[in-house]
Amino acid sequence: MIRGPLLSLLAIAGAMTAIGQDLESTVEPALEQARQLVAHHRYGEVIELLEPFSQLDDPEARYAVSAELGRAHFHLGDYSTADVLFREAVRLRPRRVETALYLEATSYLTGNRQQAYRILREVLGSGATDLYLAVTLPGERSFLADPEVRRILGETTRPVDIDIDRGSVLGVEIGRHRPDVERQLRIEPGPATANSALTASAGPYLTWAFGFDDDGALSEIMVHNEHLLRYTPYRMSLGRGLDWRATPSTATGTLGAPTSTSRDGDDVVVMAWDRGGVELTLEFAPPREPPPPGIDSADPMLRVVRLRAAPDSESGSVPDPDPDSR
């Protein structure tokens, strides 16, 4: 007959097993609730909610909890704790790019810059491209101005070819129908609404968008050059000797006098050319500090490129590319 301390230990073990099973059965609802709290920036409540789940045995559940807790501590400015949590998350799921980028950020913020550089190089070397390299870390400007970060970006550049004569970006031409565009860009079919835009973002910023008219034909393409330069390895080429380094004078010298030119105060210049049924619009403005690699802060930079099939139509227009501009 079992008596005394051994009986107590068995009872505790049974209770702990029951607690563990209960936690495993409730972790998914807790994670869903945590994501809703994150949407409202209630990070302290996320930590309180998920802490009891931090030692689960299931690797996928433990990864998800570690990643969510890491993000919560990150956004509260507790970078050391976030770093520990992201290390655990990366150990469990080393191929998850977003988690690796957060560990890159916490490594940089806690002084482990060599690890941050190594992670950045590995992520870019893996072929990942749709990412914002600073992960909105508070030291974003320092990170983006870091000579080693610029060097790594320079080693892994990828082209975004814009054919201004054919009206195409990445081989996708104005006038193509949405299913063809989705196949060309290798993305999942979108909403049934014909004129809803296909977009790609780098962090909080829109990097490019494809807008459609009411018949589902591609009517507008926007590429945000400044965001590509800051947050991705992409570098834009316009053909005819023009690329991401174009200025108003080089654009005019190559393309001739624009059909129209407008100014927003002294800072923003918008120039448009009619290219045989497709309007090309180039927007120039001083870069935000620090300027992207290869850009002189004293000169206006090519910020946005738009190709439009019907300039007088609002259907299929793409979203505002820069929330900071409003």
DSSP per position, 62-109: HHHHHHHHHHHHHHTT-HHHHHHHHHHHHHH-TT-HHHHHHHHHHHHH
How much is the average pLDDT of 273-291? 87
In the DSSP assignment, the letter for residue 325 is G
The pLDDT score that the predictor gives to residue 252 is: 94
284 pLDDT more than 60: yes
Greater model confidence, 50 or 290: 50
Is the domain of 283 the same as that of 228?
yes
Is the domain of 126 the same as that of 182?
no
Is the domain of 165 the same as that of 278?
yes
Q: What range does the domain containing 23 cover?
A: 12-153
224 pLDDT more than 80: yes
How much is the average pLDDT of 239-265? 91
How much is the average pLDDT of 121-125? 84
Residue type, 57: D
Alpha-carbon gap, residue 103 to 85, rounded angstroms: 9
18 pLDDT more than 50: no
Is the domain of 74 the same as that of 168?
no
Q: What total of structural domains would you count in the chain?
A: 2
How much is the average pLDDT of 279-284? 95
How much is the average pLDDT of 178-186? 85
121 pLDDT more than 60: yes
The pLDDT score that the predictor gives to residue 17 is: 44
13 pLDDT more than 50: no
Q: Band the pLDDT of 312: cuts 50, 70, 90.
A: low
Is the domain of 115 the same as that of 208?
no
Is the domain of 89 the same as that of 203?
no
The pLDDT score that the predictor gives to residue 277 is: 82
Is the domain of 128 the same as that of 198?
no
Angle of CA points 211, 217, 218, to nearest 5° = 35
With beta carbons less than 8 A apart as the criterion, state whether 218 and 178 touch: yes
Does a structural domain hold residue 7?
A: no
320 pLDDT more than 70: no
3-state secondary structure of 39: helix
45 pLDDT more than 90: yes
Q: Residue 30 is part of a domain; what is its CATH number?
A: 1.25.40.10
Alpha-carbon gap, residue 169 to 164, rounded angstroms: 8
120 pLDDT more than 90: no
Does a structural domain hold residue 213?
A: yes
Beta strand 279-285 with 301-308 is antiparallel
Share of the chain above pLDDT 90, in %: 33
Does a structural domain hold residue 1?
A: no
The pLDDT score that the predictor gives to residue 23 is: 58
How does the average pLDDT of the chain come out, rounded?
81
Structure tokens at 252: 């005019």
The pLDDT score that the predictor gives to residue 53 is: 86
Taking only the tens place, the pLDDT of each residue in 248-259 is: 999 999 999 999
